[in-house]
Amino acid sequence: MNRALMLVSARADSRLREEVRDRLRPCPEYLRLERDHGVELLDWSVLAHPSSVRHRTARVSVMQAAAGFRRLRDFDVVFSDCEPIGVPLALGMRALGRRIPHLMLAHHLTTPAKRPFLHLLRGRHGVGRVLVHSKQQLDAGVRLGIPSERMHLIPYFADTEFWSPGGRREERLVVSAGADHRDYTTLAAACDGLDVEVFIAQGSTHNARARQQAPTRWPANIRSAFADYQSLRDWYARAAVVVVPLIPNDFQAGVTTVLEAMAMGKAVVVSATTAQRDIVADGETGVCVAPGNPRALRLTLARLLDDEEERKRLGGNARRAAEAHFSLDAYTKRLADHLSEVAATG
């Protein structure tokens, strides 16, 4: 078995492990890779002054890449879970002539700040394989000069055991969640005066400066608050519809919420960005509406709220798709296969 090291942009400490064990939160992919595939983790909890690390920053990512670099001789392959870690690690490997197979997950290759470093991904020395979550980012990577044979698509996941349909009766309730690239201005306009309660669980654990649009005045039927994992699961269970309104973008913003709701067996309405079409089959596992179109969103929500059978059909299809294609086990098996292939080919 190959000795694999994963650089994790999170804190995999005892508290998180206990919460996962007690089913207080979904299991992240890195803990399943550790448990089922023997991958060793290097996370924030092993950095100097780990209690001060609360978010991924450039400084934290460089510290983590440096810590990983110092341990490369003990492993056959290394996996960076994001560009802010993978690029500094590749720079160090290239500058100091350290050769080890390197797999990197890239979330958003086309941001302007990353373009000066893309040359690191064109040659095999530094990063041997790049994984992305959407066909749009796959095509973008090739256009930017990364060899197509080293670009691979890996669909994202939801913990379908944690996010699973419950026995709770649905209410006339629309739920949304998340912050990054959310278009709550359009959602507010669509729901203003609609006979429905709307709850928004805001926040993004991945990007403290997440871009979003919000109205200057919220309709009376919309409220927003923080929700932990258990509370969010309860909100999903109560919802008749889960909606993910998005600002047009070229990566998979919103995918976590979409897959959580699909796993819960919910009727999902999502803005028809190119990346979301990789996940949602329009009219089968959810409904796609034009971004920034409050009238289209309002009509779709009103139709679904009044059609319980259609909601059940969409939700059942969504749950089956999540179990078949987007489960945690399927995702970590794909990651483990990529690690084995990269280790074998260099």
Report pLDDT digits (tens) over 65-124.
999 999 999 999 999 999 999 999 998 988 887 889 999 999 988 777 777 666 666 665
Q: What is the CATH number of the domain that holds 83?
A: 3.40.50.2000
Q: Does residue 325 contact residue 331 with C-beta atoms inside 8 Å? A: no
Instruction: Band the pLDDT of 40: cuts 50, 70, 90.
Output: very high
Q: Return the pLDDT at 150.
A: 92
164 within a domain of the structure (yes/no): no
163 within a domain of the structure (yes/no): no
165 within a domain of the structure (yes/no): no
- Secondary-structure breakdown of the chain: helix, strand, coil percentages, each rounded to the nearest 5: 45, 15, 40
Counting the structural domains of the chain, the total is 2
Question: Do β-strands 212-213 and 40-42 pair in parallel, antiparallel, or remain unpaired?
Answer: unpaired
Whole-model pTM? 0.92
Q: Return the pLDDT at 48.
A: 63
Residue 206 has pLDDT above 50, yes or no: no
Q: Averaged over 337-344, what is the pLDDT?
A: 96
CB atoms inside a 10 Å sphere around CB 113: 10
State whether 133 and 114 are in the same domain.
yes
Q: Dig out the tokens for 110 from the structure.
A: 């086309």
Asked which of 119-123, 236-240, 288-292 is least confident by mean pLDDT, the reply is 119-123
DSSP letter for 26, please. P
Q: Return the pLDDT at 209.
A: 53
162 within a domain of the structure (yes/no): no
204 within a domain of the structure (yes/no): yes
State whether 187 and 320 are in the same domain.
yes
Question: Do β-strands 212-213 and 241-244 pair in parallel, antiparallel, or remain unpaired?
Answer: unpaired
Q: Averaged over 152-177, what is the pLDDT?
A: 95
Q: Does residue 29 contact residue 331 with C-beta atoms inside 8 Å? A: yes
C-alpha to C-alpha distances, 320 to 26, 71, 165, 174, 187, nearest whole angstrom: 19, 41, 11, 22, 27
Q: How far apart are CA 33 and CA 136, in angstroms?
A: 26
State whether 339 and 317 are in the same domain.
no
Q: State phi, psi for 116 to the nearest 5 degrees.
A: -60, -20
State whether 205 and 151 are in the same domain.
no
State whether 61 and 111 are in the same domain.
yes
More confident residue, 28 or 110: 28
More confident residue, 194 or 45: 194
167 within a domain of the structure (yes/no): no
Residue 203 has pLDDT above 80, yes or no: no
Query: Whole domain around residue 43: which residue ranges?
Result: 4-157+327-345
Q: Does residue 194 contact residue 297 with C-beta atoms inside 8 Å? A: no
Q: How far apart are CA 28 and CA 26, in angstroms?
A: 6
258 within a domain of the structure (yes/no): yes
State whether 321 and 331 are in the same domain.
no
Q: How far apart are CA 39 and CA 170, in angstroms?
A: 40
Classify each residue of 126-145 as buried b or exposed e, where b means 16 or more C-beta atoms within 10 Å of its C-beta: bbbbbbbbbebbbbbbeebe
199 bridge partner residues: 175, 223
Q: Averaged over 214-234, what is the pLDDT?
A: 94
7 bridge partner residues: 42, 80
Three-class SS of residue 212?
A: strand
Q: Does residue 104 contact residue 83 with C-beta atoms inside 8 Å? A: yes
State whether 87 and 121 are in the same domain.
yes
Residue 142 has pLDDT above 60, yes or no: yes
Q: Return the pLDDT at 112.
A: 73
More confident residue, 121 or 288: 288
246 bridge partner residues: 182
State whether 97 and 219 are in the same domain.
no
Residue 212 has pLDDT above 50, yes or no: yes
Q: How far apart are CA 111 and CA 98, in angstroms?
A: 28
State whether 332 and 319 are in the same domain.
no
State whether 216 and 283 are in the same domain.
yes
Q: Dig out the tokens for 254 from the structure.
A: 């919103």
Q: Return the pLDDT at 123.
A: 61
Instruction: Band the pLDDT of 202: cuts 50, 70, 90.
Output: confident
State whether 273 and 185 are in the same domain.
yes
231 within a domain of the structure (yes/no): yes
State whether 77 and 199 are in the same domain.
no
Q: Return the pLDDT at 312.
A: 98
| Mean pLDDT, rounded, of the chain | 91
SS (H, E, C) 255-295: HHHHHHHHHCCCEEEEECCCCHHHCCCECCCEEEECCCCHH
Q: Averaged over 182-200, what is the pLDDT?
A: 97
